[in-house]
Amino acid sequence: MQTAISRTPMILNWHLVPYHAPIVLGRALGLFAEESLQIAMLEPTDPSDVTELVGRGVADIGLKAMTHIYAARQRGYPVKSIGTLLHEPPTGLVFKKSSGIEKLEDIRGKRLGYVGELGKVIIDDLCRSAGIAEEEYECVRVGMNVVDAIIDGRVDTGVGIGCVQCVELEQLTGEPAGILRIDDMAGLGCCCFCSIFYIATETILEQQPEKVEGFMRAIQRASAWMLDHPEQAYDMMCQQVPKMRSKLNQKIFMHCLPFFSRTQENVERDWTKVGDYVSRLGLVEEPVNYEAHYTNEFLSKPPFAAPQVFMQTA
């Protein structure tokens, strides 16, 4: 009954969705085991819990978007990005076409759903820039339930990712969905602020560098295999986690494929751009120490050793 390997807790940024495939596949393909790692993947029920729990060392590894990593360090949690999962997924206010929303000005008199407090800061900033007063719209915190909140009428639109929430909204309503991209409205030029990163604290990076390197190597090998074999990868993920097997999740997986990082590298330009953005939002103090927020030193260089794949038959 002894456990040979001590489990490494990892908290996802969201309940399990198809873009978490590289982590599921790291396990399914035995790549974590090859690094003597057993990753205990935990799903949050509130995404706002993640940076604190990783920052306090409750979990060794986590996933989080760039803006939250900046905010976490500002709060004193010494977390860093150690690699990229998803880069620049189009993010913004998602809505049903029938909502009548076409441009930011159309949100006057509407209810806007946001995930956690950062989302509200972003919405308020966009509206202020567009000359829309706070009294002219209502913000509703909806956590992970933005699509449900739109469908059941609690909000008219809400912050989501195109390749996940827009696809969900269209599939579940049978109606076309639209998105007002935040990068367009905020003049960012790309949605790097919403890129999703593997994170760990400085303590872990200093005390257990081999573990972090092993974790990222397994992730890099799993990601490379997945991008070369997307259909097989989706099927393997579903064998591990049957609730992933649905037309909706398959469609979301396909839509996420263009946004998976192929190198897992942190890109300096993205970090400086978003550093300036969160500084403008008043979330971090100037001068912004961009480099403190990420490191590429735990990444392996391609090519990655291909995993041996023995597919179970369903």
- Residues near its own copies, by CB under 8 A: 1-3, 6-7, 9, 11, 15-16, 40-46, 49, 52-53, 56, 58-59, 71, 74-75, 117, 145, 148, 152, 154, 241-243, 283, 312, 314
CA distance 114 to 124: 11
247 in Cβ contact with 43 (< 8 Å): no
Instruction: Report yes or no: 185 and 140 within 8 Å, Cβ to Cβ.
Output: no
Structure token digits, residue 1? 């009954």
Q: Catalytic one among 20, 68, 87, 255? A: 68
Q: How far is the CB of 280 from its own copies (least distance, A)?
A: 15
Residue 150 in tokens: 């739109």
Q: Is 294 helix (H, G, I), strand (E, B) or coil?
A: strand
Q: Output 165 or 266, the one with its CB closest to its own copies.
A: 165
Closer Cβ to its own copies, 135 or 152, answer by number: 152
As measured in angstroms, the least distance from the Cβ of 268 to its own copies is: 25
**Smallest separation, CB 196 to its own copies (Å):** 18
Query: Helix, strand, or coil here: 277?
Result: helix
Per-residue b/e over 187-203, b at no fewer than 16 CB within 10 Å?
A: ebebbbbbbbbbbbbee
Is residue 20 part of the annotated active site? The answer reads no
Residue 49 CB, nearest distance to its own copies (Å)?
4
Q: Which residues contact 185 (CB under 8 A, 6 or more apart)?
A: 92, 104, 126, 129, 130
Q: How far is the CB of 263 from its own copies (least distance, A)?
A: 26
Cα distance between residue 253 and residue 38, in whole Å: 25
Minimum CB–partner distance for residue 145 and its own copies (Å):
5
C-beta of residue 136 within 8 angstroms of C-beta of residue 109:
yes
Q: Which is nearer to its own copies, 239 or 295 (CB)?
A: 239
DSSP string covering 202-270, please?
Answer: HHHHHH-HHHHHHHHHHHHHHHHHHHH-HHHHHHHHHHH-GGG-SHHHHHHHHHHGGGB-SS----HHH
Between 78 and 181, CB nearer to its own copies: 78
Q: How far apart are the first and last CA of the chain?
A: 29
Which is closer to its own copies, CB of 146 or CB of 226? 146
Closer CB to its own copies, residue 40 or residue 130? 40
Positions annotated as catalytic residues are 68
